[in-house]
Amino acid sequence: MSRATLGFAIMALLAAGCEPRDVPCFSPDGKEVALLLTEKGGAPAKAGEEARAVGVVPVGGGARRDFPVPAGWTADGLIWTGGRLLVEVKRPLEEPRKGGPTVEAKYVTLDPVSGRSGETKISPHISFLPFAGRFKGKSCVYAPDMDTKSTKVFSMDDLAELGAFPFEAQGAGDGWFIRVARGNVTRPIIEGEHTGWILDSLPEEGRTVTREEMTSVEVFSLDGKKTCTIPREEIAKACYRSARQPLCARISADGRTFLLGFGTETNFRRHPCEYTFGVFDAGTGKFLWQGALNGLQGLPVIKADAVYILEAKSRKRYTGERTVAAFTEPVDSTSEPTDEAVLARHTAKGRTVVCELPLKEGDLAARYSCSPDRKSFVLLVEGKNPRLLLVPVKEKIAVDEVRAILLKPE
């Protein structure tokens, strides 16, 4: 059994904050959106709810087409590769070993035109998704592999294996990707504002720690060529307290700037936002500017001088004293849907709200993705009247420019 066989509880814990896999997503031509359903003809699956079908919705209008996943399996996520879908499915093991994995997982293909599904050799990764790219001048699918600590390359046409990179790649959009380099790092045992008193209370020989950590992030272009290395020192400028491993990576539309996103969680949760991000020069790796946000489950869009993202209007974050309240005070998370969402625009000068999204009483929203041309977000709205919202990605929009797509099955 490969490492694609995973305990569900372990997967849920470790995958939190990584690339979202259960969001609605646009087809490569931007004409359709695929999403997970509770069953054929059913409602959109809520986060953590068992999904037993995939729905495909025309953006231009029309009935939703539903396709069941293989019998006995449930779907955890999906992505488009060319004109077909890769669907991540799982099922309980019939005879799990005591203390071992309880679930097995795999990727299957789904052709929305013919409705046919098929097997693949691509194994699910606990943190990273497969992504489309180019290998030796041909379209391909990159698939990070936990067993070999590599990224396997598959033909886009028939998913035949073509080669591999000797590291686990994280997709960054438009076929770009990153590698997180690791090595021994010596640093203060605790870093950041308000921590000096802790170091002062320790003996001098106990104030530093040496262990294997992230040393840099390497950025690769569509053709797999390294464009720059972002050193740990530059990454730290975008993080809360100290350098962190990125949760997401995105290349700008013009290929000149690069975004890395980070969490802010600490034992005492003192940052007012759930995430920070940094914008870097994609050619030199130089830090340019930084921002903070309470984004929903999805990936931002970075344009020439701005970052766009769908966010919760507000989040309850604990920023008070370092007491037991830091561990017991309720804290809202982007893993929970919100009934108030906004389109926000971030620049080096700060954050502005472009538009408050038209959510009604009983509506909840958490998951979204962006169109291939970066002109629209698609947001899944849960509740009594589930629907998709198409949100233009630009500096100024009116509420009536946000278009709803009803999720009526054929």
Residue-by-residue pLDDT tens, the chain, 410 positions: 344 443 333 333 333 345 788 999 999 999 999 999 999 999 999 988 999 999 999 999 889 999 999 999 999 999 999 899 999 999 999 888 887 788 999 999 999 999 999 999 999 998 999 999 999 999 999 999 999 999 999 999 999 999 999 999 999 999 999 999 999 887 777 666 656 666 667 777 667 777 888 999 999 999 899 999 999 999 999 999 889 999 999 999 999 999 999 998 876 657 889 899 999 999 999 999 999 999 999 999 999 899 999 999 887 665 555 555 555 555 555 557 888 999 999 999 999 999 999 999 999 998 999 999 999 999 999 988 999 999 999 999 999 999 999 998 77
74 assigned to some structural domain? yes
120 assigned to some structural domain? yes
**Which of 190, 189, 132, 126 lies closest to 159 in space, CA to CA?**
132
397 assigned to some structural domain? no
140 assigned to some structural domain? no
Query: What is the domain extent for residue 79?
Result: 1-126
How far is Cα 74 from Cα 39, in angstroms, rounded to an integer?
10
pTM: predicted TM-score of the whole model, two decimal places:
0.87
pLDDT score for 47: 83
Tally of domains within the chain: 1
Asked if 96 and 110 count as a contact pair (C-beta separation under 8 A), the reply is no
Q: Which residues have a Cβ under 8 Å from the Cβ of 13 and sit 6 or more positions away? A: none
How far is Cα 258 from Cα 256, in angstroms, rounded to an integer?
7
151 assigned to some structural domain? no
34 assigned to some structural domain? yes
228 assigned to some structural domain? no
Asked if 132 and 143 count as a contact pair (C-beta separation under 8 A), the reply is no
272 assigned to some structural domain? no
Look at the alpha carbons of 76, 335, 263, 238 in this order and tell me if their dihedral is positive or negative: positive
